Chain A
Amino acid sequence: MAALFYGQELSSALMLGTAQYPSPEILRDAVLAARPGVLTVSLRRESAGERAGQAFWSIVQELGVPVLPNTAGCHTVKEAVTTAHMAREVFGTDWIKLEVIGELDTLQPDVFGLVEAARILTEEGFKVFPYTTEDLVVAERLLAVGCEVLMPWGAPIGSGKGLNNLFGLRAMRAHFPSVPLVVDAGIGVPSHAAQALELGYDAVLINTAVAKAGDPVHMAQAFGLAVQAGMLARMADPMEERDMAAPSTPVAGKAFLG
């Protein structure tokens, strides 16, 4: 059963970022290869002369994938809330990937600011996708202020280290069995994405791992396949791990050759 994100089913468990690709053409080809359920986008100052933002927007519109605007780079509640308002007007969606960054070395979320910004934005009708940690207390607060999705990090943004705290991510899945959960940040290779889905996560959000690969288009395709594999595996109910070996080939009827 695919999770619903604020009532909406996604066509794929892959959420793909649009930043850092070598060229707009490679971004377009990567999206076509990965077939993500969502594309993340952002806002930046526009120069009237260059109109870079307008060119980017026409590529995204052509691709026809739903967008999830972010508040990347915001360090305060006020900045994040104002950015969310601007994003709602520019992109015509009340979905917002809420980032309130608290620490520069790890780009760790400022979870106190995050909860406050999530409260304000939810009251104003936004559907908030909070970029958070695997902390269960923070998660409870985010749900209490109206978030219906949680997006814990796997590892610091752009680090490619994969799922750093498996115990924490498992605990979060177990503690919130019916909340849509997305691993956002830190995924480096497709096996990390498959692993997140196998753990029971409903989606993964990836950007750098695709955009900074030597061949972003093939890597995008690989991630598209990995989330399909992970989702299938999750629905197929993985076997129990055990400490001792258990022969997979039946031993009954084996010839006596000793």
Chain B
Amino acid sequence: MKITVNDEAQDVSATTLAGLIDELGYAGARIATALNGHFVPKTAREQARLDMGARVEIVAPMQGG
């Protein structure tokens, strides 16, 4: 299924956000996720279904001022 992750096109087999996190190798990382512009807490990733064209954002700690 074609979706975009952090603005890059990806072809993935996962059908949920939780599955996508595992598939892309983020398991165990300190990250937060958004699906189609909406924040999805960690506890809701199993229920967050990915549809064709879904826009996923995966962010992590970064230096800031």
Q: A residues bordering B, Cβ < 8 Å?
A: 17-21, 27, 40-49, 51-54, 56-57, 60, 69-70, 72, 78, 82, 85-87, 89-91, 157, 205, 207-208
Contacts and interface: CB of A to CB of B under 8 A. Distances in A.
Nearest to A16: B65
Contacts of A87: 32
30 contacts: A17-B63, A19-B65, A20-B63, A41-B64, A42-B62, A43-B32, A43-B59, A43-B61, A43-B62, A44-B59, A45-B57, A46-B6, A47-B6, A48-B24, A48-B26, A51-B60, A53-B60, A53-B61, A53-B62, A56-B61, A56-B62, A57-B60, A82-B39, A85-B39, A85-B41, A86-B32, A90-B32, A90-B60, A91-B61, A157-B65
B65 A46 contact: no
Interface residues of B, number: 25
B34 A86 contact: yes
A123 to B, nearest CB: 15
A46 B31 contact: yes
Interface of B: 6-7, 24-26, 29-34, 37-39, 41-42, 57-65
B39 A42 contact: no
